[in-house]
A and B are shown apart, each in its own frame.
Chain A
């Protein structure tokens, strides 16, 4: 299952410290990990939320550094794309996977699949035994939809102001973090529902 989906910055920003990343959207699926562990149950809900946000921030930082190292190594120049060129942006995106050891920061080992589309990163935190082929396809699909429906290649801030669209997208394509084996017909059906919602 997928534990977490996040969208964050991957370029150095003047407002944040180098290596830090601004998380623009994050969705952690399911109950807090601490539900299983006795000592974490002693944490108050506030502390649990804080811990969760910190974990997401750790993932964002890891992905940020993975993206910049990967881009540095490949030496490819970043291609600037404009709204309307979402398919091209996705094709040109860097991709990779980061291994998070058990305890750092999730209690079990996780694999984080990431896509770097210009200055933003899209990351899917999966359990380590998950079907990564399916996860990769799902991540690409989610990213394409986010880029299109939230006009992310432009200068707008819809990712912050219209995050409910991402919620609906996730509820259809990745309900509660469940990866789905969707052939093109099933996917079309779900995407029609999503498009109908976006039109409101």
Chain B
């Protein structure tokens, strides 16, 4: 599709030299002077556009050329209009060129020229003038005219609303509200020009108007909407389409509850002022007496109700069926908008909404329509005292469980959660327990939705579910593999063996392993933190470790773990934090066997283990049994170096009486002995086959930890000294089996010597190795003992002895 030809065209366009370019410009000017529209002119204009748009640096055209192009904007040939506006869009407007906003003939502004003016608007003032011009032409023009001549105006107005809603004055808004009402509710109900009179009226001469039809072919019995068809369309029917297309945006901009600010505040939906009851909107028969804004509201309401009814018809064409769904989404959103503005409409709207929900809720293919319905229930369900449980069961239950592989639904569902987070946390208690289901969206398509989960995950971390959530996050790659297997299992026939290397598929279908997979695929939290046979599960999924989907998933888990830990320290008590430490130690060896993944997880664990212990040093004494067990296992040095190093460090640092009064001499001694044994072992022999030599950091950390412990229990000092002197002797003998790099060995030995000399002065050793907090976090100016003024005062009183 993308050929070398295209590539070289772009290169040529970028690298065209100035003299050649100038020649091209003058040739083009000459061509444009001619009266006929030649093929060469079109071609040259097109090439000019390519030259200008191929580079991000702007080229300025000679003013003669630019003036000619500007005049082409109003050419009768559409090709010239398109090309000239395209070219002018890629250049700068001539300095001093007056914008055509105040010309009288803006009513003849074609759509391309108008779009160009819009894109060149440099300030709010420009937009205001353009807006005023368009609306002036709307007021003044006669109602007949060439088709589509008004239609381009509404999109431009809609754009102006996006960027600068205050451009419209009160009068403008009133005028447009009236026009919108006319177009939406009172468009012709007969078919437009060119409608043949066949079908309903016999006789070739019959010129009677033919009524519009519904999408299923029946004659339409009510006002015209976007879901009505005819052979041809009248101007106001076109305006009906354009009006509905911009209706929601109009309502959001000008009809929001907090009418003072013009920016649509779509997030602020949870607060509905129940006391705002518009008395006039109670009945529709009095609508003719309503002010324009309220009248538009009423007509919009009727339009949406009609669309909902029309969407139940069976359309003949597939594109129309899709349009019906899009219309349902739009209609429900607009109703939601209207009900926020006027709470009394809720009672009129709910029967219709409920009926629609009942009609669609059993059909998952309507999932994307059901989300706006859920939004409606969330915003207004409480007020209407409607039970919303079935809605939430769908949104948090069936959608993520069955439709996790629909990227559009995933995006919209997660956006729904993000936008309504506060409201959901208040009103939907099952939200925080639904993470096993929600995480399926992440497990399936991590790159696309990880950004959403970065925002949502903190809200899912609660004290009650934290441990289960941690386990679930660690097993996300397993979930990813399981979802792949689930889909494959559904599509491959049962009897076909997973021949092409899919042992995992056989395992998935095997009844004796069912429980493992069912646990991963569970929908709600609360049935257990994790399963006993995790290692079995990991083995069964061994061939999934190089599936791209699984690998993409593993790359997102570390980030989410960081977010998890950052949040959990704010909601957890010490007991829970202790439990989390244990989970970290336990799971460090229970992960799906992907080396990069394991390494990254260990790194995250190390970081947060450190943080937790820094925040709550007493945790170390509290969990000393498990930490000691971990630190005393030599195998951990080789398989979990990162975590091991940190465990040893926290033991050395925080296993002291000053951190926790329960710390006894016996505890310190047993810890010392466990670590001493490991240190001896790793520095006396070569690493086991398959493992690399321990990093110098592990050894020095062990040595430092032993020294710190010894400084607190002086009987241990001789043992440390003995080890360190032995180490020096061994190192002097040349290379050793456990350390391959000579520089590393020197560093280790140097550290050993430093520690040895420090321990010769036991009293000092403790404060050097474990400085008390007021030394490590000095607050000189805040500390009353060292504050300058106090010091000066003391000196003064000493020198002035009376």
Contacts and interface: CB of A to CB of B under 8 A. Distances in A.
Interface of A: 1, 9, 11, 13, 15, 22, 24, 26, 28-33, 35-36, 41, 45-46, 49-50, 53-54, 57, 65-66, 69-70, 72-75, 95-99, 101, 111, 113, 117-120, 127-129, 131-134, 136-137, 152-157, 159-164, 167-168, 171, 175-187, 189, 197, 200
B123 A167 contact: no
B46 A163 contact: yes
A53 B112 contact: no
B451 interface: yes
B246 A31 contact: no
B770 interface: no
Interface string B142-177: 000000000110111011001110000000000000
6 contacts: A15-B7, A31-B122, A45-B122, A156-B3, A175-B115, A185-B231
Given A66-B448, A75-B548, A133-B322, A181 B327 contact: yes
Contacts of A189: 232-233
Nearest to A94: B407
Contacts of A15: 7, 11
Nearest to B86: A167
Given A31-B159, A73-B552, A9 B78 contact: no
A181 B408 contact: no
B691 interface: no
Interface stretch (B237-245, B422-430, B585-593, B655-663): B237-245
B675 to A, nearest CB: 45
A99 B326 contact: no
A132 B408 contact: yes
Contact of B49 (A46, A74, A163): A163
B447 A69 contact: yes
Interface in B207-238: 215, 226-233, 238
B368 A31 contact: no
Interface in B411-426: 411-412, 415
Given A24-B6, A176-B156, A179-B245, A96 B163 contact: no
Contact of A175 (B10, B151, B163, B448): B151
Q: How large is the interface on B (under 10, 10 to 19, 20 to 34, 35 or more residues)?
A: 35 or more
Contacts of A65: 447
Contact of B226 (A153, A154, A163, A181): A181
Contacts of A185: 229-231, 233
Q: Which of A66, A179, A186, A200 has the most CB of B within 10 A?
A: A186
B245 A181 contact: yes
A73 B1 contact: no
Contacts of A46: 57-58, 92
6 cross-chain pairs, A with B, having the tightest CB-CB distances, nearest first: A178-B155, A176-B155, A53-B56, A134-B326, A31-B121, A181-B226
B711 to A, nearest CB: 51
A97 B407 CA distance: 7
Contacts, number: 245
Contact of A131 (B121, B252, B333, B548): B333
A131 B6 contact: no
Interface of B is mostly: helix
Interface in B532-549: 548-549
B121 A157 contact: no
Contacts of A120: 1-2
Interface in B164-201: 164
A101 B452 CA distance: 10
Contact of B548 (A73, A99, A117): A73
Contacts of A176: 115, 118, 152, 155-156, 158-159
Given A31-B127, A182-B241, A97 B83 contact: no
Contacts of A168: 78, 82
B664 interface: no
A200 B369 CA distance: 41
Nearest to B114: A176
A152 B6 contact: no
A115 B115 CA distance: 26
Q: Which of B1, B5, B163, B445 has the most CB of A within 10 A?
A: B1
A157 B5 CA distance: 7
Contact of A30 (B56, B119, B368, B412): B119
A98 to B, nearest CB: 7
B650 interface: no
Interface string B325-359: 11101100100000000000000000000000000
A73 B3 contact: no
B115 A164 contact: no
Contacts of A99: 411, 415, 451-452
B249 interface: yes
Contacts of A178: 154-155, 158-159, 242, 245-246
Contact of B159 (A22, A111, A171, A177): A177
Nearest to B47: A161
Contacts of B548: 72-73, 75
Contacts of B326: 131, 133-134, 137, 181
B319 interface: yes
Nearest to B78: A197
Contacts of B333: 131
